């Protein structure tokens, strides 16, 4: 039996290393994402089970889900500072991919030349470019003590290049997402409000120029004109509003929504996936989904505040801005309060590239959280 003196001099072995990354996983963020992913899979299945030619989409969705979760876990395990060191390569590949879709190598879907076809699968490089741009700007602004005009112009170049390329496709929805990412990262990055105001005026002028240039396809112009018109919404929005409003408080129940079963809402498995939630699970189900998405945004903001350095904070700011705009725009267009731009609802909508990119984005945020004590 050890004496008190011997016990005091015996070295103690720590039960665990508190600096180990896996001891700092944000479990709340992971749980919220997991539940939303599960809800999304159920919604995709419900939206496609009665539609000829789409019944196999749930199996593709599940496959992309597995790939996305695996990729997100790998990214989370790697120190985000090592990932940032590779930003020129990642950003360069993303820009090259955006240029490639404008050549004969790209494929046109719904009037937008923004895809690569690989047999039965397709790949949208704009989703990769969003993450690559976040990494590039986080690495560049994160290394600066202050943001002067020279550094601001370089950051604007990094943000503006992919935005311009997606407008050439033309993909208005993705362009708006890049604009939201730009605003969030520049604001958190230390750009003065006066400079942001000047940039805002320039951005409004640029939007007016694009709208008046005739570059947008006719269907995109129709979407904007229908949104601004007081004469009524488009067929898509009318059907979406009918589906959501008919769900009432508790909805019809899974698989029982008449709009969903009849396939009256176009692209209901992706662009208008929120209508399935509203019709079949009502206000309660819709409110639960929005609350869970809110938890995801809150946890990302929390990680941004806990980040070990400015670059980590900027990564979280970019991811949060991207998700916030996707959520507000996607749900808003189904309710008729935002123009129809065709961007997916994160973690819920069908779409291979979108699901994988969203999971990787969460992996980046988790890496910032897990490695904040690493050196």
Tokens of 49: 């089970």
Q: Which residues contact 82 (CB under 8 A, 6 or more apart)?
A: none
Q: Establish if 248 belongs to a structural domain.
A: yes
Please report, to the nearest 10 degrees, the dihedral formed by the alpha carbons of residues 180, 241, 274, 223 taken in order: -40
Q: Which residues contact 261 (CB under 8 A, 6 or more apart)?
A: 50, 255
Peptide bond into 326 cis (omega under 30): no
| Backbone angles phi and psi of 14, in degrees to 5 | -60, 140
- Alpha-carbon distance of 244 to 334, in angstroms, equals 8
What is the pLDDT at residue 5?
A: 52
Contact, 39 vs 252, CB < 8 A?
no
Q: Establish if 169 belongs to a structural domain.
A: yes
Q: Establish if 29 belongs to a structural domain.
A: yes
What is the pLDDT at residue 312?
A: 94
Regions of the chain short of the pLDDT cut 50:
1-2, 6-8, 10-15, 230-232
pLDDT tens-digit map of 107-144: 887 777 888 887 777 888 999 999 999 999 999 998 87
What is the pLDDT at residue 232?
A: 47
Which 3 state secondary structure label does DSSP give 105?
Answer: coil
Q: Establish if 79 belongs to a structural domain.
A: yes
- Alpha-carbon distance of 371 to 364, in angstroms, equals 11
What is the pLDDT at residue 14?
A: 45
Q: Establish if 10 belongs to a structural domain.
A: no
pTM: 0.87
Q: Establish if 269 belongs to a structural domain.
A: yes
β-strand pairing of 112-118 with 121-123? antiparallel
Q: Which domain holds residue 247?
A: 24-50+70-370
What is the pLDDT at residue 53?
A: 62
pLDDT tens-digit map of 141-184: 988 777 778 888 899 999 999 999 998 888 888 989 999 999 99
Q: Establish if 17 belongs to a structural domain.
A: no
Alpha carbon distances (Å) from 46 to 99, 252, 288, 290, 347 = 36, 12, 18, 19, 16
Domain count, the chain: 1
Q: Establish if 305 belongs to a structural domain.
A: yes
């Amino acid at each position: 039996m050890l004496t008190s003196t011997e016990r005091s001099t015996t070295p103690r072995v720590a039960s665990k290393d508190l600096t180990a990354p896996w001891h700092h996983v944000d479990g709340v963020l992971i749980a919220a994402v997991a539940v939303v992913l599960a809800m999304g899979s159920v919604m995709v299945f419900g939206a496609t089970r009665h539609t000829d030619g789409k019944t196999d989409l749930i199996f593709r969705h599940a496959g992309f889900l597995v790939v996305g979760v695996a990729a997100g876990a790998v990214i989370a395990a790697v120190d985000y500072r090592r990932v940032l060191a590779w930003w020129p390569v990642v950003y360069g590949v993303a820009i090259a991919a955006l240029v490639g879709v404008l050549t004969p190598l790209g494929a046109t879907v719904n009037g937008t030349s923004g895809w690569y076809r690989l047999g039965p699968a397709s790949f949208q490089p704009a989703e990769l470019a969003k993450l690559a741009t976040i990494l590039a700007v986080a690495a560049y602004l994160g290394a600066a003590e202050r943001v002067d005009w020279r550094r601001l112009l370089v950051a604007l170049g990094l943000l503006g290049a992919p935005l311009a390329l997606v407008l050439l496709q033309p993909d208005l929805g993705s362009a708006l997402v890049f604009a939201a990412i730009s605003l969030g990262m520049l604001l958190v990055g230390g750009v003065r409000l006066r400079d942001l105001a000047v940039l805002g005026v320039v951005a409004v002028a640029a939007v007016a120029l694009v709208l008046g240039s005739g570059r947008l396809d006719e269907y995109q112009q129709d979407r904007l004109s229908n949104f601004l018109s007081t004469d009524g919404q488009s067929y898509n929005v009318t059907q979406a509003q009918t589906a959501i409003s008919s769900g009432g408080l508790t909805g019809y129940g899974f698989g029982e929504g008449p709009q969903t079963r009849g396939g009256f809402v176009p692209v209901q498995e992706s662009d208008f996936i929120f209508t399935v939630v509203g019709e079949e699970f009502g206000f309660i189900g819709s409110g639960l989904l929005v609350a869970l998405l809110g938890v995801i945004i809150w946890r990302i903001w929390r990680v941004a505040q806990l980040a070990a350095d400015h670059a980590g904070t900027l990564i979280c700011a970019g991811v949060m801005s991207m998700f916030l705009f996707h959520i507000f725009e996607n749900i808003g267009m189904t309710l008729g309060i935002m123009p129809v731009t065709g961007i997916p609802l994160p973690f819920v909508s069908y779409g291979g590239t979108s699901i994988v990119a969203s999971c990787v984005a969460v992996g980046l945020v988790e890496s910032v959280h897990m490695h904040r004590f690493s050196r």
